[in-house]
């Protein structure tokens, strides 16, 4: 019988010829991502209590990204513990203050089609852009992974989401996901979102990562995009030669999807999501005149090099509106260096942007850029829950990097098409 990509990956990881949705299987982990936020500080005490170490330090990737750079003694202690953990257990792939872990996996070429990977953060689903199954788990589950290299999982259903046509000006992957949060809702537990169609095939790997990252906002177990030449080129660019079977990791024709949806990208205008849910989304012009105190380009989903390029297209030759501040926290030190080398940072700062350290930062109300009471922010991040970026009374709107930059210039939530050729 034809199989979905998810069923193929989980069957291989479970050492079985096939699996079916609803079955509970135990899978061998190819790669585990630990972060400073919920990694060593949560896991190490349990390892000490059990008197055990880690199953394979070469299959663990450790990143400090949430508490970097330290802004108080508590943050500094968490980072010190993270570094001690790396030394104690010989974690060679420890990326300290190099960027957000989900982005680093792509930059370092650590993912490949067919892989079964796990991470201690809900946005670990970002890895699915490489044709692998990567999902987020809590600290207790990640402790089990760290010790045994295995985890049980209930095989999810697969929902296929097809997009046809090409984007209009100022429309990108972020607009797709905000649209889907409204149309499909945020309660898709027990399902995987498999993205496909002409539109998705024409996206860069960095834009595909937006789709799979925000499968978490859809409430799905993870998101995936089938491997193709874009995937292979991304692996080569990161210094990894693709496996011989890389393009075999695709769903079979006639695979059993629990649902299938078809949408047209040509009909999609730029989207924004109103507080306090990504599902509160709609066309950018449908919410009236909303004044903005802060515009924020940051997070794994919204401050990659490609995102900074989008913002620069809008900001070139313009300036941030009086009374509005634009904060930029590149997703990795590599993205920052590349943006400096190609002139993007000069364009952003000339327009009045403030450059912040790389890391998760204000996305999770950590570090610089948190919001005061009743402030209004338009953000390229993935979540706008109450209190997510600071004070509970703050209002966070979500948009693409194009929309964030346009809003910074206008001083209000603005349609980026007004600022693009």
Which whole number is the average pLDDT over 318-342? 98
Helix, strand, coil: what percent of the chain each, to 5?
35, 20, 45
Q: Give the H or E element holding residue 117.
A: strand 116-119
Task: State in Å, rounded, how far the first CA of the chain is from the last one.
Answer: 49
Provide the pLDDT for residue 82: 98
Provide the pLDDT for residue 128: 98
Among residues 318, 392, 328, 388, the alpha carbon closest in space to that of 358 is found at: 328
Predicted model pTM: 0.97
Rounded to whole angstroms, the Cα distance separating 272 from 358 reads: 24
Class at the top of the CATH hierarchy for domain 270-419: alpha beta
- Which pLDDT tens digit goes with each residue over 344-397? 999 999 999 999 999 999 999 998 999 999 999 999 999 999 999 999 999 999
Rounded to whole angstroms, the Cα distance separating 202 from 83 reads: 40
Superfamily of domain 5-247+255-264: Aconitase, domain 3 (3.30.499.10)
Using alpha carbons only, give the angle 247, 250, 252 rounded to the nearest 5 degrees: 130
Using alpha carbons only, give the angle 248, 8, 214 rounded to the nearest 5 degrees: 90
Provide the pLDDT for residue 367: 87
Provide the pLDDT for residue 267: 92
Provide the pLDDT for residue 25: 98
List every span in the chain annotated with CATH 3.30.499.10: 5-247+255-264, 270-419
Q: Do 282 and 193 contact (CB within 8 A), yes or no?
A: no
Rounded to whole angstroms, the Cα distance separating 393 from 43 reads: 33
Which whole number is the average pLDDT over 72-91? 98
Measuring CA to CA, how many Å separate 360 from each of 74, 99, 156, 357? Answer: 17, 8, 29, 9
Which whole number is the average pLDDT over 9-36? 98
Paired tokens of 238 = 């990161």
pLDDT band at 157 (very low <50, low <70, confident <90, very high): very high
Q: Over 90: is that where the pLDDT of 421 sits?
A: no
Q: Do 111 and 31 contact (CB within 8 A), yes or no?
A: yes
- Which pLDDT tens digit goes with each residue over 389-410? 999 999 999 999 999 999 999 9
Strand pairing report for 24-28 and 150-154 = antiparallel
Q: What's the CA dihedral at 37, 43, 46, 51 to 10 degrees? A: -140
Q: Over 90: is that where the pLDDT of 127 sits?
A: yes
Q: Do 360 and 368 contact (CB within 8 A), yes or no?
A: no
Using alpha carbons only, give the angle 241, 245, 248 rounded to the nearest 5 degrees: 130
Provide the pLDDT for residue 408: 98
Rounded to whole angstroms, the Cα distance separating 228 from 236 reads: 13
């Amino acid at each position: 019988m034809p199989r979905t990509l998810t069923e193929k990956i989980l069957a291989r990881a479970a050492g079985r010829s096939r699996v079916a949705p609803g079955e509970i299987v135990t899978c061998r982990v190819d790669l585990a991502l630990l972060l400073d936020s919920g990694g060593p500080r949560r896991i190490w005490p349990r390892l000490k209590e059990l008197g055990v170490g880690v199953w394979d330090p070469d299959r663990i990737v450790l990143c400090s990204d949430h508490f970097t750079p330290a802004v108080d003694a508590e943050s500094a202690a968490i980072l010190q513990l993270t570094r001690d953990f790396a030394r104690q257990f010989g974690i060679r792939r420890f990326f300290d203050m190099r960027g957000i872990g989900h982005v680093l996996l792509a930059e370092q070429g650590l993912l490949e089609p067919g892989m079964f990977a796990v991470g201690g953060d809900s946005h670990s689903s970002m890895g699915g852009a490489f044709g692998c199954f990567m999902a987020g788990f809590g600290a207790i589950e990640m402790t089990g992974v760290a010790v045994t290299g295995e985890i049980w999982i209930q095989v999810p259903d697969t929902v296929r989401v097809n997009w046809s046509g090409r984007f209009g000006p100022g429309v990108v992957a972020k607009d797709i996901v905000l649209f889907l949060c409204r149309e499909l809702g945020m309660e898709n537990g027990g399902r995987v979102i498999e993205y496909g169609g002409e539109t998705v095939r024409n996206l860069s790997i960095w834009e595909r990562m937006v789709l799979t990252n925000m499968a978490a906002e859809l409430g799905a177990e993870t998101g995936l995009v089938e491997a193709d030449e874009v995937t292979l080129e991304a692996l080569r660019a990161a210094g990894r030669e693709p496996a011989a079977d890389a393009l075999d990791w695709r769903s079979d024709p006639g695979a059993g999807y629990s649902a299938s949806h078809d949408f047209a990208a040509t009909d999609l205008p730029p989207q924004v999501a109103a507080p306090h849910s990504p599902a509160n989304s709609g066309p950018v012009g449908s919410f009236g005149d909303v004044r903005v105190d802060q515009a924020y380009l940051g997070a794994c989903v919204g401050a990659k090099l490609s995102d900074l390029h989008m913002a620069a297209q809008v900001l070139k030759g313009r300036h941030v509106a009086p009374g509005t501040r634009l904060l930029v926290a590149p997703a990795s030190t590599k993205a920052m260096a590349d943006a400096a080398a190609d002139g993007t940072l000069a364009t952003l700062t000339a327009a009045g942007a403030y450059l912040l350290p790389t890391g998760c930062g204000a996305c999770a109300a950590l570090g610089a850029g948190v919001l005061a009471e009743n402030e209004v922010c338009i953000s390229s991040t993935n979540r706008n829950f109450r209190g997510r970026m600071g004070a509970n009374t703050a209002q966070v709107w979500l948009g693409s990097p194009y929309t964030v930059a346009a809003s910074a210039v206008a001083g209000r939530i603005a349609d980026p098409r007004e600022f693009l050729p």
